[in-house]
Amino acid sequence: MTQPWYVSNRADVRALPLADAHYNRQKVGSPQFVPPSKCLVLLTETADAVWTTTWPIAAYTKHRWAGAWVNSLFRNESPLLSSWLITKAVAATRAKWPIVPALGIVSFVDASQVRHKRDPGRCYRKAGWRFAGYTEGGLHCFQQLAPDMPAPDAAGDSQLSLLV
């Protein structure tokens, strides 16, 4: 299988149940599930996995990875491996935004809110991300820099989602 992701949008009703089930959801039921920023929302064809890459304005960012792309939402309820979906989502992000920020991409994991594993963020580690430290609030930060990222690979056309 090549690219499992299709371009979606910040208010795709098919993605809402996945977004609402994610532990960092601010307002369950809100029609939009992406923080204010440039964004890339990806959804699998069967709407059983969702990914969001945001590119917040560094001046308004309150963590030490300001300027990096942020994976602000990833939920996988599909039979596909999470690490593979992460890799393909980063490839799709690179296809949309070819110039990678110096700090690459980061994701924040609340170890108390995910299934207990040997190590929080295991799927990110398996996708080639590295532990980069903790936020002031104690979240684990995982980071992938440009040299470790997969080659660009565009997600499917969003027009396909209109047919579902």
Tell me the CATH number for domain 5-163.
Answer: 3.40.630.30
Strand segments, DSSP code E, in 31-158 are 38-44, 49-55, 69-76, 105-109, 130-134, 140-144
Please state whether beta strands 69-76 and 105-109 pair in parallel, antiparallel, or not at all (unpaired): parallel
Q: How confident is the model at residue 153 (pLDDT cuts 50, 70, 90)?
A: very high
**In the predicted model, is pLDDT for residue 25 greater than 60?**
no
**In the predicted model, is pLDDT for residue 1 greater than 70?**
no
C-beta of residue 100 within 8 angstroms of C-beta of residue 94: yes
Mean pLDDT value across residues 71-86: 95
Q: Which residue has the tokens 């939009």?
A: 32
pLDDT attached to residue 37: 83
Task: Identify the DSSP state of 31.
Answer: S
pLDDT attached to residue 97: 96
Q: What angle do CA 62, 43, 72 make, to 5 degrees?
A: 10
Which amino acid is located at 161 in the chain?
S
pLDDT attached to residue 29: 64
Rounded Cα–Cα distance for residues 80 and 53 (Å)? 19
Residue count of the chain: 164
**In the predicted model, is pLDDT for residue 20 greater than 70?**
no
Domain boundaries, the chain: 5-163
Least confident of 6-20, 21-35, 65-79, 137-151: 21-35
**In the predicted model, is pLDDT for residue 75 greater than 80?**
yes
Mean pLDDT value across residues 8-28: 73
pLDDT attached to residue 164: 40
pLDDT attached to residue 12: 83
Give pLDDT tens digits for 127-151. 999 999 999 889 999 999 999 999 9
